[in-house]
Every structure is written in structure tokens, then in C-alpha cells.
Amino acid sequence: MAPLRKYHAVVLGAGGVGKSALTIRFGRNEFIEQYNPTIEEEYRCDLIVDGERCILEILDTPGTEQFTALNERYLQQGAGFLLVFSLIDENSLRDIDSIRQQIFQVKGADMDIPIVVVGTKLDLNTEREVSRARIQELAKQWNLPFYETSAKRNWHVSEVFEDLVRQMRKCYPRD
Ligand code: GDP
Ligand code: MG
């Protein structure tokens, strides 16, 4: 039998958008109510995507709006990226645009890089600032998949990680 493939994913986005809540919902199926902006933690998940088992290592990072040496390390280490913004905070979209550009700067502009864009806090519908039309427009412009999720309600969380695994399989085929 072929050995299990292991993929390394990095979760990026501004502070408070819900990176840790998303990651912990997926990794441990819990919802974290309190906000701890400093958390950097790696989760190791054993999952089956399209009938094939793999290991997904997910690095949850602290807020990463600024381009720092630390960010550069994250970008170099990651094989795939989740760019996380909050559906209730329009400004958080700008932050992931900047991170997206940094990824291509570090990895190479013409590279095919596994990236999934994740809008969080879908359950806070009345506070929503980022419309579906805006998301569709950006998805087209950036040519990246977008998901609308809620870590609190566990809506569409596993889909995000499964899509990232599919993209990583495509970009890094077994030799
Ligand atoms: P991070 O800085 O990006 O890691 O943000 P956190 O994951 O710590 O989340 C920041 C705050 O938003 C916390 O109080 C979370 O409980 C809350 N939060 C995160 N995701 C959701 C969600 O899907 N729905 C709701 N209602 N709150 C959320
Ligand atoms: Mg966090």
C-alpha cells in the first residue's frame, strides 16, 4: 500500500476574523467563544477525501496583516493556504488581498498555489457587511474558490479543508 500523504496547510488572515475558531471546529469539533489573538498552534488531522486517506497538518497563525519576517516563514512553509476573512468586517477582505499578493511574491507569480478563501461568521446574518455579489466578483477576479462558513454552527467547515486537500493533490501529484 502507498504511504499516507501528508499536506501542510497554513491559516492566514487578520486578527479576530475566526481563524482559530474555524481550525478548532475542524480539528476538534469544538467552538471557541473567547478570543485569544496570540495563538499559534498546529493541528494534525487524519481525514478521507474522495475515498483517499491523508494527513492534513494545519498551522493556525496569529493576525497576519503586516508583512513581517514571520509571515514570510509561514508562506515558505505552507503547501496550501486558507485565506480567512470575516463576512461581518469588510476591511478584513483587504487584508487577505494583501496576503494573497504576498503569497505570489514569495512563491512565484506564475505558480499554481492551492488557496481557498473563507468568509466566516455566516451565522451573524444581520451584521453582514460583505455581500454575496461582492464575493462572486472577487472569486472571478482572483480565480479562487470562496466559501461562506460558520464555525459556531459548523456550516461548510469541512468542505473548506476538503477543497484545499483536493487542490494540494492536484498541484503536488505523487511522483
Ligand atoms: P482569530 O484571531 O482569527 O483566530 O479569531 P478567533 O477564531 O479567535 O475568533 C474571534 C472571535 O470571533 C471569537 O470570539 C470567536 O468566538 C468569534 N467567532 C469565530 N467564528 C465565529 C462564527 O462562525 N460565528 C460567530 N458567531 N462567532 C465566531
Ligand atoms: Mg487565532
pTM over 0.80: yes
Residue 123 near ligand 1, beta carbon < 6 Å = yes
Atom 22 of ligand 1: nearest residue by CA position? 121
CB neighbour burial string for 75-85, b if at least 16 within 10 angstroms, e if fewer: beebbbbbbbb
Global ipTM: 0.99
Any atom of ligand 1 within 6 Å of the Cβ of 151? yes
Residues found in the chain: 175
Check pocket membership of 128 for ligand 1, CB cut-off 6 A: no
Dihedral sign computed on CA atoms, order 97, 103, 104, 105? positive
Closest CA relative to residue 168, chosen from 42, 24, 47: 47
- Domains of the chain are 5-171 (3.40.50.300)
pLDDT tens, position by position, 48-107: 999 999 999 999 998 765 556 667 888 888 999 999 999 999 999 999 999 999 899 888
